Amino acid sequence: MVVFTQEGVTYQFANAANLETFKKNPSAYEPQYGGWCAYAMGKNGEKVEVNPETYKIVGGKLYLFYNRLFNNTLPDWNEDESNLKKKADANWQRIYK
């Protein structure tokens, strides 16, 4: 495993080749909403920790989800993805700026 830190965020890669690919275009690989749970960002604009193994790639973008204590938010996201994504995008713009 290869570890790399950029702008205060630590990333883990399976190998050095994957790290080099990331370095060439980080924005293509960084998770949406700063790595916070996409569902929570869309539902109520909250920053909620995620399980990095619970994810979805849509349109080449990585979305991460909370999945602990018998609560996996990915199925809820899938039920209303279009609406939640619009709300998450708006909430993230409000929070991030």
The candidate with the shortest Cα–Cα distance to 50, out of 89, 63, 58, is 63
Structure token digits, residue 65? 């989800």
Where does the pLDDT of residue 64 fall: very low under 50, low under 70, confident under 90, or very high at 90 and above? very high
CB-based burial label for 65 (10 Å; 0-12, 13-18, 19+): buried
Average pLDDT over residues 25-41: 93
| pLDDT confidence of residue 46 | 96
Q: What is the pLDDT of residues 9-23, one digit of tens each?
A: 888 899 999 999 999
User: Which stretches of the chain are assigned E, i.e. beta strand?
Assistant: 2-6, 9-13, 51-58, 61-65, 67-68, 71-72
Q: What is the pTM of this model?
A: 0.83
DSSP 95: H
Q: Where are the domains of the chain?
A: 1-27, 31-96
pLDDT digits 0-9 by tens, 37-61 = 999 999 999 999 999 999 999 998 9
